[in-house]
Structure 1
Amino acid sequence: MTRLSVNINKIATLRNSRGGDNPNVLKVALDCERFGAQGITVHPRPDERHIRYQDVYDLRELVTTEFNIEGNPSEKKFVELVLANKPDQVTLVPDALGAITSNAGWDTITHRSVLTDLVGTFKSAGIRVSVFVDPDEDMVEGAKICGADRVELYTEPFAAGYFENRQKAVLPFVKAAEKAREVGLGLNAGHDLSLDNLHFLKQSIPWMDEVSIGHALICDALYIGLENTIQMYLRELEL
């Protein structure tokens, strides 16, 4: 079974745009769980433009499904946040300061030493570690050498090429996924996955452990409601 983790950053963005606490991030997270989501993902950034650091502490007390914290571990504050909250999983993402959204995976070869130290730190605290990578077999193997438990494939290129030629678009992801399975890594995927392309990705890589979806899911929920949307995404993950 491939689990659905809902990224609630966009809910926090909406809240922050007006100040106050509407919509309430904690309530939405609990509602996502109640509607069938098997995990909650947050991606705090240094400027706290969406998820705030305090949100992470508050969510840790309430989330009963898998809790996944994403972010750039080059920020000392991020590392401290993860260690203080001990989520089920930390996903290491090399997003640049000020980036609108994540736009590339790690070069796990160039950054092997740093990643190895970070992975060891988090695993020593009992936290599963996933490394965000492009669909590149060498980067996947590099994540294994760094000691990671999983990789998360950066799926924006797949989504971008899906409508033009979905078989071509998915091919590097299948190869990277096969490499992950070969070297004994768990497999996650995320970025620009939607109701349009999710089922085909699942068919092509049926052994995925988890997908993390935020932007498209929240956009869909504006039209068809959060509960219906989560159920629709879960159906797309069925074979």
Structure 2
Amino acid sequence: MIALSVNLNKIALIRNSRDTVIPSVPEHARMCIEAGADGITVHPRPDQRHIRADDCRDLAAMLNVEFNIEGNPFAGPRVSDRKGVNDYPGFMELVRELRPTQCTLVPDGDAQLTSDHGFDLSRQAEELRPILAELRELGIRSSLFMDPSPEQMSLAAEIGADRIELYTETFAMAVAQGDGVAQSYERFRDTAEAAREAGLGINAGHDLTLHNLPYFRELPGLMEVSIGHALTVDALRMGMPAAVAAYLAVLAGR
């Protein structure tokens, strides 16, 4: 069974649009878990535009499912300039403090609206190696956010990654446009097969929806999908528990 980890960034984004505590991130995590979600994902950025460091602390204190924290391992501390928002301690400092089940490393920056590319290990392998070693020492499963690049999978394993998370926007765009779907899927399939040969686990995420997930769920070795934006949009229409149930049904092939 492919695990569903629900990304709660958009719940926090709605809350942050007002000076309020609603919608509650922990309460929505509870709803997701009660509906059957296998995990909760958050991506705290240094500017704390959506999920904040304190949200991560609140979730770590209450979750009884897998907790996945995503972010740039090179993001340092930052002083908050917003009333009532505590400072950002730095990504790795937050991970060391909270010890999530999984840490997904993503090469993003403030200028990006959302994550839009994976690591290029031909350039970044050696700077990631000690970080992956530290995560293993802390007992945290590591995952590298990667484009569908079969040639990079053996290097991801060699530097110590446990899993890769495939950045799936190109597949989602092909499905939405109705063009090049088979070719896009083939590239992801080849990458998944290379990852499995290298001994890596396979996660996936970004723009996966109820529409494109039935196709993508057939990817060989797929262990987990992290879905936030589309699931939150569906939840506005059908409610969070029903949205989670709908994604779980698709992942189960129902």
Q: Which residue of 1 is the match for residue 43 of structure 2?
A: 43
Q: CA deviation at 1:92?
A: 0.2
In 2, the alpha carbon distance for the partners of 1:206 and 1:198 equals 14
Could you tell me which runs of 5 or more consecutive residues in structure 2 were left unpaired when the two chains were aligned.
Answer: 77-89
What's the TM-score, normalizing by structure 2?
0.92
Q: How does 1:50-69 map to 2 (within 5 A)?
A: 50-69=50-69
1:222 matched to 2:222? no
Instruction: Supply the AA of the counterpart residue of 2:109.
Output: A
Deviations 1:161-220 (A, max 9, x none): 1122321221110000000111110000000000010110012x1421100000000001
In 2, the alpha carbon distance for the partners of 1:170 and 1:138 equals 16
In 2, the alpha carbon distance for the partners of 1:106 and 1:89 equals 18
Instruction: Supply the AA of the counterpart residue of 1:121.
Output: E
Contact 1:105 1:154 in 2 (8 A): yes
SS at 1:189's partner residue? Answer: strand
In 1, the alpha carbon distance for the partners of 2:184 and 2:196 equals 20
In 1, the alpha carbon distance for the partners of 2:11 and 2:146 equals 26
Contact 1:133 1:140 in 2 (8 A): no
Q: How does 1:1-239 map to 2 (within 5 A)?
A: 1-76=1-76, 77-162=90-175, 163-203=178-218, 205-239=219-253
Deviations 1:47-93 (A, max 9, x none): 00100001111100011110000000011310000010000000000
| Alignment length (residue pairs) | 238
Instruction: Supply the AA of the counterpart residue of 2:49.
Output: R
Instruction: Supply the AA of the counterpart residue of 1:231.
Output: A
Deviations 1:89-121 (A, max 9, x none): 000000122311000000112111111011011
What's the TM-score, normalizing by structure 1?
0.97
Contact 2:193 2:220 in 1 (8 A): no
In 2, the alpha carbon distance for the partners of 1:75 and 1:124 equals 20
SS at 2:225's partner residue? Answer: strand
SS at 1:210's partner residue? Answer: strand
Q: CA deviation at 1:43?
A: 0.0
Contact 1:68 1:88 in 2 (8 A): yes
In 2, the alpha carbon distance for the partners of 1:218 and 1:121 equals 33
Q: CA deviation at 1:26?
A: 0.7
CA RMSD of aligned residues (A): 0.9
Deviations 1:9-52 (A, max 9, x none): 00000000012101011100111101111000000000001000
In 2, the alpha carbon distance for the partners of 1:98 and 1:64 equals 34
137-146 vs 89-98, greater mean Cα deviation: 137-146
Could you tell me which runs of 5 or more consecutive residues in structure 1 were left unpaired when the two chains were aligned.
Answer: none
Instruction: Supply the AA of the counterpart residue of 1:238.
Output: A
Contact 2:234 2:243 in 1 (8 A): yes
Contact 2:192 2:220 in 1 (8 A): no
